[in-house]
Amino acid sequence: MSKIQVMDEVLANKIAAGEVVERCMNVVKELVENAIDAKSTEIRIDLTDSGVKEIKVTDNGIGMDPEDAQLCFLRHATSKLRREEDLFHIDSLGFRGEALPSIASVADVVMQTCNQETGTEVHISGGKILSVSSSVLRPGTSITVKDLFYNTPVRLKYLKNLYTELSYITDYVNKMALSFPEIQFTLTNNEKVLLHTDGSNRLLKVIHAIYGLSVTKKMIEIKGENDDYEISGYISYPEVFKSHKNAMTLLVNGRYIKNNEIYRILTDCYHTYMPPDKFPIVVLKIEVDPILIDVNVHPTKMDIKFSKMDTLKELLERVIKKELERLTLIPDASLETTVVGQETRISTNYAPQVYEEFNASKKEEEFAEFEKMTLSLDEKEEPFQVAEPSFQREEPSSSQREDALSSQRENPPSSRIKKMYPVGLVHGTYIVAENEDGMFLIDQHAANERINYEYYLEQLSNPTPVVSDLLVPISLEFPFNEYVILKEHFDQLEKMGFGFEEFGLQTIVIRQIPMWLPKGNEENAIRRIIEIIIDKEAFSMERFVHKVAATVACKASIKANDAISLADMEVLLERLRNCQNPFTCPHGRPTIITYSKYDLEKLFKRSM
């Protein structure tokens, strides 16, 4: 007798449910995506006890006839794919036909649907249809999921607490509302409204509904396109950041995804604008021909593959960096007083401009005007993935510094800030300066660090680095698996100024080194560089140079409590003005904050 047999349909669905339905959020995700594919303009998600007890998703979509209402619970039954070729042109959120049968196999499900001609109700529990009957003629579909995982107690046991499950659902619905601002979303839990959007197709209004006014006022609109991609959305000012990458919302053809490579590109665009391990708030919409992406990568469809990631990277970097470079990013240090209970708190308002308080009940036209405003700043996927160098570069000689200064005087870059006039020093650290716009406080170490960073960056980026010959060559031997990777990147070593030759199968002999290597510690420095090359799957010379420049700049700069003269302050401020980014040090800390003239008069009650 044959030992192999075809698996029972209910058992197969339970197995599939283990991949598709991990928690309550997955149920909401699949039902909401179906509602969107059904051309709904209103979607309501009602939860009871964070969805553990009941999840109800109601839409006003096209609905189904009685036959489709039953077929949709069969595994791999779908209206999205007809032919094999359709798999390469997917323009719907769902397409596998696994979601509904998977959910129905581990829960009690009641579906009411109407295609404007007939209404049908299907009751299915544990994967078995209990009844099919007529229902009310309300256009659209309503699906109620009760007692999730009632027949898989192990899975039920490992559901998180109610607050955690609710946070996952809320986060997902927020992402979908951002992805489809033209759809009205309502999310409730135990009859309490957690999110409501009006479906007016205004993305900024959805951002306001999710993040609140303070963030909304500080978002920058971006748009751009090339031959392969079209991008749009909003990015936050550098001073508005989070400690997690979840605030970066990626939407590809309307599908919410998670993609570490895009997260890294976005974070890199903010390099030196914000502290390491901090992340901007981003709502990024990417439109692309479906043939250039593969969404059939994971059962949850939360990750996709791009066939032309290099062109997407170029587009993102060009558009985002251009927007950041055109802005004046000096935080306004005006103080706000708030009362929390019996405690009075004073906080710094990081906003370069003064805005009227936004009232959510204002008329549509008033909000439209608000949308057109130039927005500003307030509030960490992955910083540059290059290990900290274990060496420091020597400080440039006085003649080198003078040459650099002379070059800046002869060819000054277009400054992004007005000239500031120093008047004194506070706590031996903060330069007090002024101009017609108000008063400025400048962190002398951060400012000098930015100046030195850009100087070192230019020197290290030279295509012809200054090199010197070693009196005693350095021989380095590696395991064969590491040597193979190193050999792939010999060109990187040559660009940095290393002269070397292969010796045997696993050894190189270094005969020439760049001048910026530390004296007396050359071998350790070389080994550290090679470790970085070997450890990183895609070694980036640019990232490595940035890291070295930032480290050296910090060591070479004046420190807090270093007394400097008024003349030194003038030189420092003028050199800071000539920097490409004078607003932050290489580590993302602000170099300047300001009190506008209006703020000063308000603080001293001259302006009431």
What pLDDT digit, counting tens, does each position of 405-420 carry?
444 444 444 678 889 9
Asked if residue 374 has pLDDT above 50, the reply is no
What single letter denotes the amino acid at residue 26? N
User: Which of 383, 401, 423 lies at the terminal end of a domain, its last residue?
Assistant: 383
Cross-sheet strand order for the sheet of 282-288: 219-225, 229-236, 282-288, 248-252, 255-257
CA dist 519 to 161, 218, 392, 522, 527, Å?
58, 47, 10, 6, 15
- As given in the structure block, the two tokens for residue 235 are 């990015």
Q: Do both 429 and 568 map to the same domain?
A: yes
Q: Do both 211 and 178 map to the same domain?
A: no
- As given in the structure block, the two tokens for residue 453 are 């960073």
Q: Do both 172 and 314 map to the same domain?
A: no
Q: Do both 362 and 508 map to the same domain?
A: no
Query: Where does the pLDDT of residue 99 fall: very low under 50, low under 70, confident under 90, or very high at 90 and above?
Result: confident
446-488, pLDDT tens digit by residue?
A: 999 999 899 878 877 777 778 899 989 999 998 888 888 888 8
Look at 69-73, 94-98, 183-187, 527-531 and tell me which has the smallest mean pLDDT: 94-98
Q: Do both 355 and 418 map to the same domain?
A: no
Q: Do both 438 and 302 map to the same domain?
A: no
Total structural domains within the chain:
3
Q: Tell me whether residue 3 is in a domain.
A: no
Q: Tell me whether residue 1 is in a domain.
A: no
562-580, pLDDT tens digit by residue?
A: 888 999 999 999 999 999 9
Asked if residue 197 has pLDDT above 80, the reply is yes
- As given in the structure block, the two tokens for residue 353 are 């401009």
User: Which of 383, 403, 438 lies at the terminal end of a domain, its last residue?
Assistant: 383
Q: Tell me whether residue 137 is in a domain.
A: yes
- DSSP per residue, 30-64: HHHHHHHHTT-SEEEEEEEGGGTSEEEEEE-S---
Q: Do both 143 and 235 map to the same domain?
A: no
Instruction: List the CATH number of the domain containing 136.
Output: 3.30.565.10
At 408 the pLDDT is: 44
Q: Do both 597 and 578 map to the same domain?
A: yes
Query: Where does the pLDDT of residue 601 fall: very low under 50, low under 70, confident under 90, or very high at 90 and above?
Result: confident
What mean pLDDT is predicted for residues 323-352? 55
What single letter denotes the amino acid at residue 418? K
314 or 389, higher pLDDT: 314
The residue segments making up the domain with residue 514 are: 392-608
Q: Do both 228 and 108 map to the same domain?
A: no
User: Which of 363, 383, 403 lies at the terminal end of a domain, its last residue?
Assistant: 383
> By percentage, how much of the chain surpasses pLDDT 90?
31
Q: Tell me whether residue 2 is in a domain.
A: no
| Crossing angle of the two packed helices 162-179 and 24-37, in degrees rounded to 10 | 20
Q: Tell me whether residue 379 is in a domain.
A: yes
Q: Where are the beta strands (DSSP E) in 212-340?
A: 219-225, 229-236, 241-242, 248-252, 255-257, 279-280, 282-288, 293-294, 305-306, 333-340
Q: Tell me whether residue 171 is in a domain.
A: yes
What mean pLDDT is predicted for residues 248-267? 89
Q: Do both 369 and 419 map to the same domain?
A: no
Instruction: List the CATH number of the domain containing 526.
Output: 3.30.1540.20
Q: Do both 169 and 64 map to the same domain?
A: yes
The CA-based angle 197-202-205, given to 5 degrees, is 55
Instruction: List the CATH number of the domain containing 240.
Output: 3.30.230.10
Query: Where does the pLDDT of residue 325 fall: very low under 50, low under 70, confident under 90, or very high at 90 and above?
Result: confident
Q: Tell me whether residue 506 is in a domain.
A: yes
pTM exceeds 0.75 for this model? no
546 or 19, higher pLDDT: 546
Q: Do both 192 and 207 map to the same domain?
A: no
Phi, psi of 491 (to 5 degrees): -60, -30
385-405, pLDDT tens digit by residue?
A: 222 332 233 444 444 444 544
372 or 233, higher pLDDT: 233
Q: Tell me whether residue 4 is in a domain.
A: no
